[in-house]
Structure 1
Amino acid sequence: MTGVPDSLRSWVTSWPEYGPLDITPAELLPSALAKDVPSWAEAAATPADVTDWEQRQDDALISFELDDRGWPLHPRGRTGRTGRNLGRWGENAAADPIVIAGTGQDRKILLITRADVLQEAIPGGMVDAGETAPAALVRELREETGVDLRGHEPVILGRDLVDDWRESDHSWVASTSALYLLPGVVTAKGDDDALDATWYPAESMSALDTAITTAGRALYPAHRPLIARALTHLDK
């Protein structure tokens, strides 16, 4: 969270001088939304235009409060950013399938190269309206890598806030991460939002970091703790 001292992070701490940076892209400004709403975004120009906050709070993976205006507040506190650069105001639910093949020194993890930040990441994405997290896990994996794991029962590792670069005080990402175990690697090919799909050594985080660096790439920072948790789970 950019430019916010830890002592001023909490919403209950007074900070009259707080001036967050508006990160709303041109296509989500009120004037643009009045003419055309992107397929991935809701039409509400501000949180005041959202009519179902009670339902969104009930459905949220991570509970959140509304301020005196009825605007949603990031569960972790101030971010240094305002506006919206995500599909929805408040929580944006995501699904992150962590696919690992093999065991021990032969263990590998399937990662994609994200088109937006050109970094190696879990092949996940946003949960569609009316879709369940388990269905989104399977769909995102199939769309981005061609790997179809319908019928496989994953281990749900957690439901967490994600340090997404698009988050703001009033719009953020919370993800359901799940572990899929395969006996060996399967054919995968980058598609949709993925420029590439690659199996990397995953005996440890150190081995993964080395392999990604050797390939001239970098690991998407928000997914590091999710992958580390999955490897820790397997090492128990």
Structure 2
Amino acid sequence: MPNITASRVYAPVDITPPELRADRIAETAREGWVQDVTCDPSTIRDWPARQASAIEPFDVHNGRPVNPVQRTGRVGRDLGRWGENQAADPIVVADSPDGRVVLLIRRDDCGMWAIPGGMVDPGETAPQALVRELREETGVDLAGLPCEIVWQGYVYDPRNSDEAWICSTAALYRLPATVTPHAGSDALDAAWWPFGSVDALTGAVGGAGGVLYAPHRPILTAAARRL
């Protein structure tokens, strides 16, 4: 008879890539995207400050951060920081002769269409990151243009683990007309897509042979509701 208790033992997989393991992490940190140059989160001393500034409150047990939303089946990290990694996602919409459109990029890591955005750099605020990421990925500079925060929360990103995860701040920018985007860093392409609703957007992207990045659907849904 099978051991039912044993079969239910939680056995997460370590997803830490080679570049974040002990023998290479110092070298990787020089590239600029790694903020925690340690393979052991229990050596981090500023957990109270990180918890105080977190978008989603989280606990720390025995020096290790605990994913506040779910068990992922994964431990270790494939992100720049242990615990919460804050991102910024600018949602840029414009009026066009055919109706409202939204600016998306085709990601170079998975080929899917997604909101342009990325991680908040050390010493940077989310509003600053929104402008920088948009400019870097699409060539569109909206510095000085007012925006509206429409969503903050946990992002169901494939890089998340039980000990490192992404939370994002998404802001809505409204333009009277489209501007010409140019694919930049981390983007294979940048284009405007119909945005009457998220379902219509998904259909338009799929009809063109593409796929809408699933983790961004809740963010786009929040923006569509606000519009």
SS of the residue 2:24 aligns to: helix
Instruction: Provide the residue aligned with 2:146 in structure 1.
Output: 153
CA–CA distance in 1 between the matches of 2:135 and 2:93? Answer: 15
Task: Check conservation: 2:51, 2:57, Cα contact below 8 A.
Answer: yes
| 2:41 partner amino acid | P
CA–CA distance in 2 between the matches of 1:153 and 1:76? Answer: 31
Instruction: Provide the residue aligned with 1:109 in structure 2.
Output: 102
The number of aligned residues is 219
1:103 Cα deviation from its structure 2 partner: 7.2
Aligned with 2:216 (options 217, 223, 229): 223
SS of the residue 1:102 aligns to: strand
Task: Check conservation: 1:111, 1:120, Cα contact below 8 A.
Answer: yes
TM-score (norm 1): 0.89
- Paired residues for 1:12-23 under 5 Å: 17-23=9-15
1:206 Cα deviation from its structure 2 partner: 2.5
Task: Check conservation: 1:105, 1:203, Cα contact below 8 A.
Answer: no
Unaligned runs of 5+ in 2: 1-6
Instruction: Provide the residue aligned with 1:84 in structure 2.
Output: 77
- 1:63 to 2:57 alignment: yes
1:181 Cα deviation from its structure 2 partner: 0.4
Instruction: Provide the residue aligned with 2:114 in structure 1.
Output: 121
- Backbone CA RMSD of aligned residues: 1.7
1:176 Cα deviation from its structure 2 partner: 0.2
| 2:92 partner amino acid | V
Instruction: Provide the residue aligned with 1:188 in structure 2.
Output: 181
- 1:24 to 2:37 alignment: no
Instruction: Provide the residue aligned with 1:45 in structure 2.
Output: 39
Which region of structure 1 is more displaced relative to structure 2, 58-67 or 42-51? 42-51
Task: Check conservation: 1:104, 1:203, Cα contact below 8 A.
Answer: no
CA–CA distance in 1 between the matches of 2:127 and 2:209? Answer: 33
Q: Which runs of 4+ in 1 moved over 4 A?
A: none
| 2:77 partner amino acid | R
